[in-house]
Amino acid sequence: MEITTLSSDVRPTCAAIVCAYNEEKTLANLLDNLLASPYLDEIIVVNDGSTDQTAAILDHYAWKTEIQAVHLPGNHGKGYALAEGISRARSEALLFIDADLQNWHCGYELDLLRPLLQDQADMVIGYPIEGSDLFEPVDPLGLLHWISGERAVWRRDALPLVELIRDSRFGVETHINLHYRQSRQRVQFVRLNNLKHPIKLQKSSLLPALRGYAQEGAEILQTCGYWTRKMVRGWVENW
């Protein structure tokens, strides 16, 4: 039976973890939407050394007991910020939500949680439609969906990843993917229709965007190298 809503007496406790670095343009709207959600018990926002008004926006929400703001001294990267969020969460289910989403609503939370609650997946990856269409001609197989930041996992499965992902920066999603695949855990994708997630080319000028893509690609390749070496060591030890 498909779950179309969740009541507080049957759903697990759920935390949203938001990693933010210089997201003053979208953070307040995202937080307002998360606060209006009937499915969240915790909202953990990790400010990864932002230099814009991100910290001031979080201070504005300081009176909201549902929000736990974590201010990191300096920019440590998305992997470190996500590890901090996971380690502080107390809920059974965790939602990872990017801070630059433009029109998030609680229906997306249900889309992500539903396969977990129906025991169809151990991790759910949601991919936005709007904002990713620029890559469709060069990614007909949807491989870029694997690096989407919108995810639902069980806290018990995420806790062992904390130290692994802490230094991974933009390789964090790849680390998580390969860990789940190696552990033979089930991964399911869901479409988050009409969700707007701007790409780097839409957030900055050409050269900074290209530098950002190059850095992200290098960090993903570094993560792949880690798992390749780990796999080879396993083969050698079992030879």
DSSP state of 118: T
Structure tokens at 30: 């995202």
Structure tokens at 105: 């609503």
As beta bridge partners, residue 190 has 126
Contact 71, 84 (CB under 8 A): no
| DSSP three-state, residue 189 | strand
Contact 150, 110 (CB under 8 A): no
Average pLDDT of the residues of the chain: 86
Please, which residues have CB within 8 angstroms of residue 227's CB and are 6 or more apart in sequence?
Answer: 175, 178, 182
What sections of 147-205 are H helices per DSSP? 155-158, 162-165, 172-182, 200-203
| Res 137 pLDDT > 60 | no
Q: Rounded CA gap, 97 and 78, in Å? A: 12
For the structural domain made of 14-199, what CATH number should be given? 3.90.550.10
| Res 10 pLDDT > 70 | no
Q: How confident is the model at residue 155 (pLDDT cuts 50, 70, 90)?
A: very high
Q: How confident is the model at residue 196 (pLDDT cuts 50, 70, 90)?
A: confident
| Res 239 pLDDT > 80 | no
185: how many CB neighbours lie within 10 A of its CB?
14
